[in-house]
Amino acid sequence: MMNISRKKLLIIRFLINPNFLKPPINPNPLIISPPASFSHSSIHTSTYNNTNLQFAENHTENLDKNPNFQKTPNLVSQLIDVIKSSKGNCRSQLDLIDTKLSKVSVCEILRVLSCEKVLSVSFFEWVRDRNRELYRNGDVCSLVIDNCGWVGDYDTMTALLTLFKQEKITINNKAFGFLPVLDSSTAHAKEKIALVVDVLNKVGGSVCNSGVFALIDMLCGIDCFDLAKYVIELTEKKSSYYAILVREKCKRGDLDYAYALLNEMRTVGCEVDCKIYNYILGCLCKSDKLSEAMSLLEQMQESGIQPDEITFEIFIASACRLGKMDFANERLRSLMDTGSNPRVSTHVAIVKGYFNAGRYDEAYEYARDMEVKNMPAISKIYSVLARLHQSKGNVEVATRIFNEMMEKGLKPDFLYYKKTVNTLSRNGGRGLAQDLRMKYSKFRFE
């Protein structure tokens, strides 16, 4: 059994399912609680309260047809009570509610039903009949599967997954929060995981692939890497499955484990692709181990795997962060020699690199050069440069860049443009702000 303190266990379980600590709900759906007063001090950080606030603000309209459901922030709780008290036959009562539930509120209801171990299929079917788009949502479908797991109804889980396969609906890591991987023995956790994998294999198809991927992703996300590898042993040694483990270990800076996974993949004959190398290269560069990253890049190319645009961006962004602009430009030329276009984020990294090094003129000249070469998203590059100047206090320079852009017919990024306009308005530059608004207005009309 894993050695996890009770306090840490409660925190992790709350992150997986925020509602398992939820207080009891009003047992009588016809008794309407008075509207809560949402003062600043009463708003808590829990997911439950936040989702209820959002629901109360945005989704409590059109309820006149049923006087039992008043426009209060407690509507979600009342719906849950109706579903619980109906004992699986809630359709007739839910049909009286003339409202379109949001994804947030539907997910909230599904999570609480899972916490209460109440099967949610009838509610899910009601959602399907009223909102086809919401019914096909990956989060909603995944939480319904999770609900079946909490209730222990694997037959219904299999039936739903078969339906999802027919309709080409995929599930994500929200489908497996019910698995007892944190508060039980490893043997018990493996037993439940094997049961889920058996269901996924029985259904097969795209649902099986997305389900296994999501299961591994969920286990890695909560640091259960041994159990994630157990899933791979039960299913298939695929690059996409190993990639999840490598990605998560690199996020945690555990390079030794990532290298071990790389060697394991080679040993079992599993193809190591560019994406997996990129995860490790990114981790090395973030740790300022540029020479080690270059050595791994050489090994990668010697094995016949060519770097892609993301590989080059990893090195370029790292060099820019360290102020090594010559190296960054060398990598950029190498990328363009392959006939590939750099990603917009690569250009942005170079502009930021020059700017952060105090080389403002070179940052501007780089943007101008990209414009001459007709690089895509030049508006984004200029907008970022203007925003950098505005953040540095160089509002006049930012204004000049935005003016120049719009005179050339380039539309600025709205958020960056807006911040500059607001800064001008606050600091005595209302005339300049108005001029920017006038020039920007033509893009709105177009």
- C-alpha 372: how far from its chain's center? 36
How confident is the model over 385-404, as pLDDT tens digits? Answer: 999 999 999 999 999 999 99
- Domain limits for position 18: 1-33+45-133
Q: Is the pLDDT assigned to residue 445 strictly greater than 70?
A: no
120 neighbors 127 (Cβ within 8 angstroms): no
Percent of the chain whose pLDDT exceeds 70: 82
More confident residue, 202 or 59: 202
More confident residue, 161 or 50: 161
Look at residue 60 in the predicted model and tell me its pLDDT. Answer: 34
Residues whose CB falls within 8 Å of the CB of residue 254, separated by 6 or more in sequence, listed in order: none
Asked if residue 416 is part of any domain, the answer here is: yes
Q: Which of 103, 133, 163 finishes a domain?
A: 133
Judged by average pLDDT, the poorest of 92-101, 248-257, 360-369 is 92-101
How confident is the model over 121-153, as pLDDT tens digits? Answer: 999 998 888 888 888 899 999 999 999 999 999
Q: What is the DSSP letter of 412?
A: P
Look at residue 16 in the predicted model and tell me its pLDDT. Answer: 52
Q: Which of 110, 133, 156 finishes a domain?
A: 133
Asked if residue 412 is part of any domain, the answer here is: yes
- Residue 46 Ramachandran class (φ > 0 left, ψ -120 to 50 alpha, else beta): beta
How confident is the model over 247-285, as pLDDT tens digits? Answer: 999 999 999 999 999 999 999 999 999 999 999 999 999
Look at residue 289 in the predicted model and tell me its pLDDT. Answer: 93
Q: Is the pLDDT assigned to residue 13 strictly greater than 60?
A: no
Mean pLDDT of 64-84: 61
More confident residue, 255 or 184: 255
Mean pLDDT of 30-58: 33
> With bands split at pLDDT 50, 70 and 90, how would you rate the model's confidence at 67?
very low
Please give the angle made by the CA atoms of 313, 409 and 350, to the nearest 5 degrees.
Answer: 20
Residue type, 58: N
Q: Is the pLDDT assigned to residue 319 strictly greater than 70?
A: yes
Beta strands in 171-306 (DSSP E): none
Asked if residue 243 is part of any domain, the answer here is: no
The residue among 259, 141, 152 whose CA lies nearest residue 196 is 152
Mean pLDDT of 349-365: 96
More confident residue, 277 or 97: 277
Q: Which of 99, 118, 133 finishes a domain?
A: 133
The residue among 195, 214, 54, 57 whose CA lies nearest residue 143 is 214
DSSP string, 320-387: HHTT-HHHHHHHHHHHHHTTPPPPHHHHHHHHHHHHHTT-HHHHHHHHHHHHHTT-TTHHHHHHHHHH
> With bands split at pLDDT 50, 70 and 90, how would you rate the model's confidence at 308?
very high
The C-alpha atoms of residue 50 and residue 169 are separated, in whole angstroms, by 28
The C-alpha atoms of residue 56 and residue 37 are separated, in whole angstroms, by 12
SS3 for 181? coil
Residues whose CB falls within 8 Å of the CB of residue 71, separated by 6 or more in sequence, listed in order: 60, 61, 63
Asked if residue 388 is part of any domain, the answer here is: yes
> With bands split at pLDDT 50, 70 and 90, how would you rate the model's confidence at 15?
low
Alpha-carbon distance values, 101 to 105, 109, 127, 137 (Å): 6, 10, 8, 13
How confident is the model over 213-240, as pLDDT tens digits? Answer: 999 999 999 999 999 999 999 999 999 9
The C-alpha atoms of residue 7 and residue 386 are separated, in whole angstroms, by 47
> With bands split at pLDDT 50, 70 and 90, how would you rate the model's confidence at 75?
confident
> With bands split at pLDDT 50, 70 and 90, how would you rate the model's confidence at 7?
very low
Mean pLDDT of 295-317: 95
More confident residue, 42 or 444: 444
Asked if residue 270 is part of any domain, the answer here is: no
Rg (CA), the chain: 27
Look at residue 429 in the predicted model and tell me its pLDDT. Answer: 87
Asked if residue 383 is part of any domain, the answer here is: yes
Asked if residue 207 is part of any domain, the answer here is: no
Look at residue 85 in the predicted model and tell me its pLDDT. Answer: 83
Asked if residue 269 is part of any domain, the answer here is: no
The C-alpha atoms of residue 411 and residue 402 are separated, in whole angstroms, by 9
Look at residue 28 in the predicted model and tell me its pLDDT. Answer: 35
Alpha-carbon distance values, 389 to 16, 33, 384, 397, 409 (Å): 41, 52, 9, 7, 21
Query: What total of structural domains would you count in the chain?
Result: 2
User: What does the mean pLDDT of the chain come to?
Assistant: 83
Structure tokens at 185: 């023995």
Look at residue 71 in the predicted model and tell me its pLDDT. Answer: 37
CB-based contacts of 425-431 (< 8 A; 24+ apart in sequence):
427/395, 429/395, 429/399
